Amino acid sequence: MEKMSETEINERLASMEGWGYEENAIHTSLEFDDFKDAFTVMTRIAFEAEKMNHHPDWSNVYNKLEITLSTHDAGGVTEKDFKLAKIIDDLVS
């Protein structure tokens, strides 16, 4: 899958609330009521990621979840990252 240009990435991000571009990846920060809610969403994301064979880089501290998406093989952001970002947005909205 082909790495997208920074211009293309920023165009796509313009219509996505809560996501930003930095260091060859797109990022979002999510906050939940508690750990249980955060981990429930992580589990749902994990199953979707596994289906796509495309996995987030993430960290969780109690009710907070930081997510970074990039396509490691391409060394940057590809359409797959936007596909997973959309799935994540749909899961939390």
Ligand X SMILES: C[C@H](O)[C@H](O)[C@H]1CNC2=NC(N)=NC(=O)C2=N1
Rounded least distance, CB 36 to ligand X, Å = 26
How does strand 57-61 pair with strand 19-22? unpaired
Does 27 bind ligand X (CB under 6 A)? Our answer is no
Q: Is 28 in the site for ligand X (CB under 6 A)?
A: no
Q: According to the binding rule CB under 6 A, does residue 55 interact with ligand X?
A: yes
According to the binding rule CB under 6 A, does residue 73 interact with ligand X?
A: yes
Q: Of 72, 75, 79, 86, which lies in the binding site for ligand X, with binding defined by CB under 6 A? A: 72
Distance, CA of 59 to CA of 49 (rounded, Å): 15
Q: Does residue 36 interact with ligand X by CB under 6 A?
A: no
The candidate with the shortest Cα–Cα distance to 85, out of 61, 56, 44, 47, is 56
Q: Which parts of this chain interact with ligand X (CB under 6 A)?
A: 53-55, 71-73
